[in-house]
Amino acid sequence: MINKISFNVGETIGELSPHMFGANLEHIGEAIYKNGVWAEAIENRKFCGADKFTWDTGVKHDHLDFGIVQPWKGFNPSAQHVMYAHSNSEYIVKGDEQINRFGSGKQSQQITIRENSQENRGIKQLLNVNFVNEEHQFSIMLKGNGQTVYIQIGELSFEFKSRTTWYEFKKNIKFTDSKTKKTLSISINSNELFIANCSLMPKNTNFGFRQDITKLIKDWVPSYLRWPGGNYLSGYKWINGVGDRNYRLPFYDFAWYQWENNDVGTDEFMHWCELIGSEPMITVNTGNGTPQEAADWIEYLTGSTSSKYGKLRSKNGRSKPYELKTIFIGNEMFGGWQIGHTDAKTYALKYDQFVKAIKEVNKNLRFIAVGACADHFGHWNEIVLKNIKERIDELSVHYYSIRTEKDKTHPHYTSRYIPTVAASTEVELMLDRTIEEVKKYTKDDITIAFDEWNTYVEAEHPNYIENYNIADALYAGSLLNACINRGDMITNTGIYHLINVMGNYRIDGHKIWKTPTTLVLELFTKYHKGEILKTSVNSSTFSSQSMGKQPEYKKNKLVDAAATYHENKVCLTVVNKSEKDSLAISIPPYKKILGNYVVNGNSPTDMNDGKNLEKVKIHKNKLKFDANSFKAPPHSVSLLILESLSNQN
């Protein structure tokens, strides 16, 4: 069969939405802290949560690190000389917290010298200093008895006197040894000390975010960033995440089972979006949150300085309201994994309450309601669409492909090429069934926000890392082509996830890299714009075996494509799913080739990693053309920029 792509610049299905190539940023795993996008070098800098309680020492002695909040350890511990405790009576953070068995955010690290000796005693932590050659600022907030506090960070040491009231000590430091790992120790040799928090941050950051990963993301500039979740969102109290970071209340996140420092909050996220150039999209908490809390948050973001929460924003350093256009009203409220999950009719009532409250403070927002794929979760879409009274602009849909992450064993990434590239077939079937549901149950102009998608194969708690490779990049290219070709109904897509966790960008210490999927997203975002051309593809087919939750498919198209038209230029994206064969593909006549790009690899499962950061990259002007056709390399995503002839076929 001849592989042929057809389109005509006179036949369009609508304009491409500005929200077609977005991403999610959620507080999960190491997306934000520890090895994530936030530049802090100290783990658990606010001493929240439990100590390392063990009951395995018999009657010989207590565990020497008992009372030290994890992951901190004892510095010269001795049961005779020093005692530790997480003090829940001495703390500086503010806010209401939920009491739970995982510990508290309202506490400080207590160090008590029981018997003086020649040794200084305290706590220590092995640090992850990624920018060892840069100047850093160390700070510590503590209260003592006026005794000397000894600080050692790697090869550097200094001391100062504590005070009897809470006191913040700051010092700029520059390491002289760039090769050895750095351990931080905080110690005393008399009396008692309470430490509320400490920090070690590079002096040069982007509002606290790492400059290197920020620069890399600007190669893409996602259409939007959806924050703060995701499942995390349904337990999030925004008010505890604004103001001075040292006084923000840490809390235990029951969605992903980890402690949250609350250092990255509303202002940090919004500033970062402005810097990157991505539109921010906020998801409000319909899990354990209230309509009034949501309205207050929107007032904080967009209200004038004469309003209560606009005034608070100004007090926190931002007088000008943030530019915010779109709000998600909750996340996956149909799911038993979601805090505050509910039935569809109750969610519809809740949606109306939230939207009414938000409209009291801002009448100019777009609203996205929680939807589901096809007719799943008890005909969720039907019931929601029939019962919501307030305006819906988009219905949110989430879908993950393959789904072997909960199996005892996961397919190795080198063994799943065919099911992965075929997964877009299932996505297309799901999207078409969902579109049918929306059109069936509403006459309103409601489109679909496909705001969470990806392959989900081997990502496990706590870090949820996937080995995304060429196969996943082709899946992404095919999925995005499918969404563009349905762009009259699909007006938003957002890949899950931006950093590390199922991430488009990976961070491992000072090393950062893009996955092959990221390269595809860069190309689509940069070049697809304007009118969506009605595009058809004649192609050979292939069969794919079942894997995970994905069934066998007999007739997957070997080639798929999408085209847009802007300023007399056609942007055409083409996916060749063949593992081994280059394919000659016929395309409509054009005046001139203005440029071409391709993402592929030497093998169909090549990927980037910490050992080879750019094994897979974008190749420019490497495609071979004949009259009205081109050669698509095996396992590739190609993008062509063509100067148009009028009325081409």
For residue 159, the model assigns a pLDDT of 98
Q: What is the pLDDT of residue 628?
A: 92
What is the arithmetic mean of pLDDT over 259-286? Answer: 98
Q: How many C-beta atoms surround the C-beta of residue 160 within 10 A? A: 14
Burial 240-264 (b: 16+ CB within 10 A, else e): bbbbebbbbbbbbbbbbebbbbbbb
pLDDT in tens, 330-387: 999 999 999 999 999 999 999 999 999 999 999 999 999 999 999 999 999 999 999 9
Q: The pTM is what?
A: 0.97
Q: 486 and 435 in contact (C-beta within 8 Å)? A: yes
> What is the C-alpha separation between 96 and 147, in angstroms, rounded?
33
Question: In one letter, which amino acid is 253?
Answer: D
Domain presence at residue 612: no
Please report whether residue 57 resides in a domain: no
HSE, side-chain direction, 13 A CA sphere, residue 218:
13
Question: Mind listing the pLDDT tens digit for each residue in 605-620?
Answer: 999 999 999 999 999 9
All residues at 6 or more sequence positions from 354 whose CB lies less than 8 Å from its CB, including other chains:
284, 286, 291, 294, 329, 330
Of 181, 202, 223, the last residue of a domain is 202
Instruction: Provide the pLDDT confidence category of residue 58 given band limits of 50, 70 and 90.
Output: low
The domain that contains 35 carries what CATH number?
3.20.20.80
pLDDT at position 63: 76
Task: Read off the amino acid at residue 15.
Answer: E
CB 107 within 8 A of CB 48: yes
Alpha carbons 247 and 263: distance in angstroms, whole number: 10
pLDDT > 70? residue 115: yes
Q: Is 264 found in the same domain as 354?
A: yes
Give the pLDDT score at 59. Answer: 57
226 in the same domain as 86: no
The answer, yes or no, to whether residue 276 has pLDDT greater than 90, is yes
Of 529, 563, 586, the position where a domain reaches its end is 529
* Any domain includes 162: yes
Residue 2 falls within a domain, yes or no?
Answer: no
Q: d(Cα 249, Cα 209) in Å, to the nearest integer?
A: 20
Buried/exposed code over 308-346 (b: 16+ C-beta within 10 A; e: otherwise): ebbbbbbeeebeebbebebbbbbbbbbeeebbebbebee
Over 90: is that where the pLDDT of 1 sits?
Answer: no
Please report whether residue 136 resides in a domain: yes
56 pLDDT higher than 70: no
291 and 355 housed in the same domain: yes
**Phi, psi (degrees; rounded to nearest 5) at 420:** -70, -50
Does any domain span residue 78?
yes
DSSP annotation of 69: B
Residue-averaged pLDDT of the chain: 96
Instruction: Quote the percentage of the chain above a pLDDT of 70.
Output: 98
Q: In the chain, how many domains are there? A: 2
CATH number at residue 168: 2.60.120.260
Query: Is residue 86 helix, strand or coil?
Result: strand
Angle between helices 291-302 and 266-276 (to 10 degrees): 50
Domain boundary (475, 504, 529) is at 529
Residue among 389, 385, 303 nearest 354 (CA):
389
Alpha-helix residue ranges (DSSP H) falling in 528-594:
none
Please write the tens of the pLDDT for every residue from 479-528. 999 999 999 999 999 999 999 999 999 999 999 999 999 999 999 999 99
Same domain? For 114 and 32 the reply is: no
Residue 624 token pair: 């071979």
Answer yes or no: do 190 and 263 share one domain.
Answer: no
Verify that 440 and 293 share a domain, yes or no: yes
Greater model confidence, 55 or 188: 188
Q: Each residue of 391-439: pLDDT tens digit? A: 999 999 999 999 999 999 999 999 999 999 999 999 999 999 999 999 9
Residues 367, 488, single domain; the answer is yes
Same structural domain, 394 and 525: yes
32-35 contact pairs (CB < 8 A, 24+) = 32/264, 32/499, 33/261, 33/263, 33/264, 34/128, 35/128, 35/500, 35/507, 35/508, 35/509
Same domain flag for 293 and 175: no
Strand 447-456 vs strand 490-495: parallel, antiparallel, or unpaired? Answer: parallel
CA dist., res. 166 & res. 193, Å (int): 11
CA 311 vs CA 296, 307, 314, 437, 498: distances in Å: 12, 6, 5, 44, 32
**Beta-bridge partners for 227:** 282
Any domain includes 99:
yes
Q: Do residue 189 and residue 234 come from a single domain?
A: no
My answer on whether 436 and 496 are in the same domain is yes
pLDDT at 125: 98
Question: For residue range 197-216, what is the model confidence (pLDDT) as tens digits?
Answer: 999 999 999 999 999 999 99
b/e map 132-157, b = 16+ CB within 10 Å: beeebebebbbbbeeeebbbbbbebe
pLDDT of the residue at 61: 58
- Confidence at residue 453, expressed as pLDDT on a 0 to 100 scale: 98
Same domain, 403 and 489: yes
Residue 2 confidence class, pLDDT cut points 50, 70, 90:
confident
Q: Give the range of the structural domain holding residue 265, as residue numbers without chain letter.
A: 15-39+209-529
Residue 649: pLDDT above 50? Answer: no
The reported pLDDT for the residue numbered 194 is 98
Alpha carbon distances (Å) from 252 to 50, 195, 473, 582? 11, 20, 35, 52
Instruction: Please report whether residue 155 resides in a domain.
Output: yes
